Structure 1
């Protein structure tokens, strides 16, 4: 059972809503609202946008409040959400100093700082924050735009984004779309090192703003926004996937598909199907994997060859899980390798991540699923290098290698490898990796009394 979510209760009361009234407006039953506030459950993904609006907070802030009642099994305490970030200068550099509201209210700061509601001013130099017009500052704060990167954006662009929030038809242009794309690209780059707990709230904040502006933008601007939003929503789906929140992951993948269709982006539609097939693998659902990957390969998507290669590998993996022979699996993998070899330079940003190193990792997974774990181990030992992956991804592939070692009858080495993986999972808050390690512990049950195996079990279950 989770802990009571006091922040969620305060947000409801600040919005002048009773549990009964909130349930009526959503609509939901009052019992569900009580369960959310007590930490016993969470609202379903399709309710969260409306819930955030009724509580007059951003979706990113709602995610923070929901995490208050969720006990993490990765030994990372939920980040405290400061009420006010006070910009100060330390050694000539601006730093955001967190202060709680009680401290502010009891000091002279109460007369100097605006009423900020649930948003906080950005961790940006005071000169740049002060240089913005009061209207722009209010717009950014009111809409919960993650403006921690304000200095990189530039004060002129920040003003423009703020105006676009107030009047999309007049102020929406390439400056705004470039800002959103740059922000999302930055979050994607940071994800592998920081993990979803730190990246997800910022991503959801940007997606909420894109959604708001797109509703009133011109048709051309709307297409641009929805195309960017589709990529961002798919990324949010991935972040929830790494947190092992399947319903939230599928919700954002569905949202990404909706926006890709509205934007007329057929390549993105095929890409989302491929990502949904990967979610099906996490759930060990090979039949769904096969349906989705065949749709990826046969549909009218015009996918880059690198993504076609990834889809061919995914199809090989699904067939291996359904009992295909090693020869049949190898023939499918040969198709994937040929597509990758013929791809040449990166044709699209969507396929930029897929290279020979990643295909080697996925080939190793296929070997294990085809009943050849020793062959898989040999491929991992040859190609899995920490320098070629983010901390999170390296830890994930180590968990798969540990599983192959366990299936090969090497319990001590499997446990040692699993312990390194568990450390990376804790650093990046990757529940997906932790889930794979639980599978490893299950395979290692016959050797449960060995010291290394016992240590891994304690690390995973502790």
Structure 2
């Protein structure tokens, strides 16, 4: 916590601004002004000319108001790195996303046109497609997924501008496909960051753009991601109609792709949550048929299902259904495979849950401690949410001191993540 910037506050008040009107003048969130004034954050350099103008001071005088001492002399080879104000950056991302939602939704409703710009747009679409595939790869490799968001948002700005231009119907369809692709990636980033409302908006726009593009597989994947938010929040009854629609779309898509099998895998989790073992097993069997496909069954971007996660998904379903022996065998099989940190955390959380059902504190601690370590290392909201889902089930074991410690650490992690 920093010291309150009383001189900065006094100058803002002397200029006749409330915190609300000052925030509106600067086009920032009201909460951002509050953090500046409490000394919890410092305005980023690109904002300072506008702040200085609003307060009627020079940039040097603004530095004094903010209580910033001049930078000490240093060796030319030494570079000072100022950490970004993450809260302010998050405010910017949210505002930019809302603007994109509004702009893209309106542009998708416009008809295509023709002209000289259309030919340029057709050439640019090829470059957009290459860059989008690169972004998915960067996302897959990034330990902190939120770091990819500014790149995705910038590319969505470019696509939105392209949609404003005149295009042929074919180029417009291509641009709509790319927009749907990147909105699904934006949704994945927000989902990983525990921002489910933002993720849902992204998936909804991806579905609209996919429909405009006439791309049933892309559309089905957007709906499946949207439905998975409900599955993840254990609102299984809400997920079912979206998945039914996704399955119908996937049946009209490319039979060489794994779309319909991925939809079935998410349906299996939904049926497990609804307590329907037979329907769950049937859906898992349908998902497993992906192993009979030949050739390239996914594109590594908005469609990445190849059956490699089936053991994990079976394990999750069986844990939900209370079939512990089946679950443990499937999860042990999953651990023998090559897992990303986030996927491994999901498997370990399910194994900890089995320990809860068996009233075995040692098993719970062994697996949950490993998940805690992953959550701290990656900052993933998905991993934190896994632990949050485990926490209520720890109550019967709280007589054990190690379980008490685990419960407190999960509470601290979840609280810190929410902040």
TM-score, normalised to structure 2's length? 0.68
Moved more, 350-359 or 258-267: 350-359
Q: Please, which runs of 5 or more residues in structure 2 have no aligned partner?
A: 10-16, 48-61, 73-95, 97-115, 413-419
Q: 1:405 to 1:292 in 2, by over 3 A?
A: farther
Moved more, 394-403 or 207-216: 394-403
Q: 1:79 to 1:340 in 2, by over 3 A?
A: farther
User: For 2:45 and 2:372, how far apart are their aligned partners in 1?
Assistant: 30
1:218 and 2:178 matched? no
Aligned counterpart, 1:426: 376
Aligned counterpart, 1:373: 324
- On the 8 A contact 1:395/1:420 being kept in 2, the answer is yes
Moved more, 228-237 or 420-429: 420-429
Q: 1:382 to 1:182 in 2, by over 3 A?
A: same
Aligned counterpart, 2:387: 437
- On the 8 A contact 1:230/1:259 being kept in 2, the answer is yes
1:317 and 2:269 matched? yes
Equivalent in 114, 118, 125 of residue 177 of structure 1: 125
Moved more, 235-244 or 259-268: 259-268
Q: 1:238 to 1:81 in 2, by over 3 A?
A: farther
User: For 1:181 and 1:81, how far apart are their aligned partners in 2?
Assistant: 33
TM-score, normalised to structure 1's length? 0.62
Shift of the alpha carbon at 1:438?
Answer: 1.6
Shift of the alpha carbon at 1:271?
Answer: 1.1
2:304 is paired with a residue whose SS is: coil
Aligned counterpart, 2:314: 363
Shift of the alpha carbon at 1:437?
Answer: 0.5
Shift of the alpha carbon at 1:433?
Answer: 1.2
Shift of the alpha carbon at 1:35?
Answer: 4.7
Aligned counterpart, 1:13: none
- On the 8 A contact 2:207/2:219 being kept in 1, the answer is yes
- On the 8 A contact 2:315/2:330 being kept in 1, the answer is yes
User: For 2:159 and 2:188, how far apart are their aligned partners in 1?
Assistant: 19
User: For 1:210 and 1:297, how far apart are their aligned partners in 2?
Assistant: 28
**Deviation by residue 1:278-333 (Cα, 9 ceiling, x = unmatched):** 11111111111211111122236415552212222322322222222x34432332
1:172 is paired with a residue whose SS is: helix
**Deviation by residue 1:103-132 (Cα, 9 ceiling, x = unmatched):** 9x999xxxxxxxxxxxxxxxxxxxxxxxxx
Superposition RMSD in Å: 3.9
User: For 2:227 and 2:344, how far apart are their aligned partners in 1?
Assistant: 21
1:347 is paired with a residue whose SS is: coil
Number of matched residues? Answer: 332
User: For 1:208 and 1:296, how far apart are their aligned partners in 2?
Assistant: 28
Shift of the alpha carbon at 1:19?
Answer: 4.5
